[in-house]
Amino acid sequence: MSDPLLSVQDLTKRFDPEAAPVVHEVSFDVEDGEIFGILGPSGCGKTTTLRCVAGFERATDGTVSLRGQMLSGPGVHVSPEARKIGIVFQNYALFPHLTVLDNVAFGLNGASEPEQEERAREALEMVGLGGFEDRQPQHLSGGQQQRVALARTLAPEPDLILLDEPFSNLDALLRQETRQEVRELLKSKGMSAVLVTHNQEEALSFADRLAVMRGGQIDQIGVPEDIYYRPRTLFVAQFLGRTNLLLSQAAGTEADTPLGTVGLNRDAEGTVLVSMRPEHLALEAPETSDGTTATVVGRSFKGHDITYRVCCHGNEYLVHTDNRHLYEPGDTVAVRPLEPAVVLESRSSPADVPSGATPEPEPEE
């Protein structure tokens, strides 16, 4: 395999020499043409990582290289304007005193005036904003501002673009549509990008590969499916949607869990914590099933499927099913695992975490 486009090695950033580092020995690579996501809760260090890559922050330790050229490292700090790395900010940061066209032309230094204008117009056409050249940015809608910001970043043809929560200022309907458009645009141009977000759905659908960060460190890097279905740590399992945690006794490929004996995704021994996504559990009639019996305590209908809350040995679990069978609260059912459970590494001892469904993640911002 060829050298990666962007290589970040053991990146560490401390703002205060006394305090814990905000980013601690973070390493990842971004391949040419790849969209890489960094996902984490606010304060996890993901934006600081991005700003170190952009050159706005000086890394305390570690290296950042682009196409094999060192941008940041011991005694080296290439200034942001010399990095050929573009950035789209959460609030777009359009220059309010310049027109849309002048905003987009701003990064086209060195070219003649007509050429700058020509290229800026092309960039605006590309994002579907031809005809908006003479507007002031504040007179555009949020979605249009976002596209101007993207055009401005793409116009100078940077080697890499950084996206700092670029969709979080759009309303929910527009967000999904814009995300898809931007992804298609980047893919069609073969652009490499790093996306920083706290929104798990956004990271899973936008990135080719992603890193989940917490407390300044990366917990796991992988393709979205891997991260979702095979979380390595308790944190990753919880952060990417609700799941059921089972305190289990493992013996090789199987474990004894509160929901009966379940296969494991990898060998383990002794007391372990395993995760079982709600869609990997099924409810069956207790007479015909060998699953563990439980009592339905709640049901919420969501159109395409139903989420049941069931109680088993005093703990509540979540089960997503399609809506062919209807159970009422109070019904006795059998819970059957459909997939092997995922063994989690935990920084704390597994026994500290109670079995049962994880709580609803707290909405951010």
Residues within the interface to other proteins (CB under 8 A): 54, 56-57, 79-87, 89-97, 106-107, 109, 137-138, 140, 142, 145, 152-153, 156, 165, 168-169
- Please give the structure tokens belonging to residue 64: 């950042």
- Return the number of the residue (170 or 283) whose C-beta is nearest other proteins: 170
- Return the number of the residue (104 or 273) whose C-beta is nearest other proteins: 104
Shortest approach of other proteins to residue 195 CB, angstroms?
Answer: 16
CB within 8 Å of 18: residues ≥ 6 apart:
none
Question: How would you class 342 by CB atoms within 10 Å of its CB: exposed for 0-12, middle for 13-18, buried for 19 or more?
Answer: buried
Shortest approach of other proteins to residue 337 CB, angstroms?
Answer: 43
- Return the number of the residue (138 or 288) whose C-beta is nearest other proteins: 138
Shortest approach of other proteins to residue 70 CB, angstroms?
Answer: 19
Shortest approach of other proteins to residue 198 CB, angstroms?
Answer: 13
Do the beta carbons of residue 168 and residue 42 sit within 8 Å?
A: no
Shortest approach of other proteins to residue 106 CB, angstroms?
Answer: 5
Q: H or E stretch including 197?
A: strand 193-197
Helix (H, G, I), strand (E, B) or coil at 271: strand
- Return the number of the residue (171 or 287) whose C-beta is nearest other proteins: 171
- Please give the structure tokens belonging to residue 345: 């590494």
Q: How far is CA 150 from the centre of its chain?
A: 20
- Return the number of the residue (56 or 301) whose C-beta is nearest other proteins: 56
- Return the number of the residue (129 or 312) whose C-beta is nearest other proteins: 129
Using left for φ > 0, alpha for ψ between -120 and 50, and beta otherwise, residue 101 falls in alpha
- Return the number of the residue (36 or 317) whose C-beta is nearest other proteins: 36
Shortest approach of other proteins to residue 27 CB, angstroms?
Answer: 23
Strands 61-66 and 69-73: antiparallel
Q: How far apart are CA 226 and CA 37, in angstroms?
A: 14
Interhelix angle 172-189/142-154, nearest 10 degrees = 20
Using left for φ > 0, alpha for ψ between -120 and 50, and beta otherwise, residue 165 falls in left
- Return the number of the residue (61 or 102) whose C-beta is nearest other proteins: 102
Shortest approach of other proteins to residue 118 CB, angstroms?
Answer: 17
Do the beta carbons of residue 197 and residue 165 sit within 8 Å?
A: yes
- Return the number of the residue (69 or 300) whose C-beta is nearest other proteins: 69
Q: How far apart are CA 282 and CA 140, in angstroms?
A: 49
Shortest approach of other proteins to residue 87 CB, angstroms?
Answer: 5
Do the beta carbons of residue 77 and residue 58 sit within 8 Å?
A: yes
Output b/e per residue, 32-42; b: 16+ Cβ within 10 A. Answer: eebbbbbbbbe
- Please give the structure tokens belonging to residue 131: 């005809």
Shortest approach of other proteins to residue 128 CB, angstroms?
Answer: 18
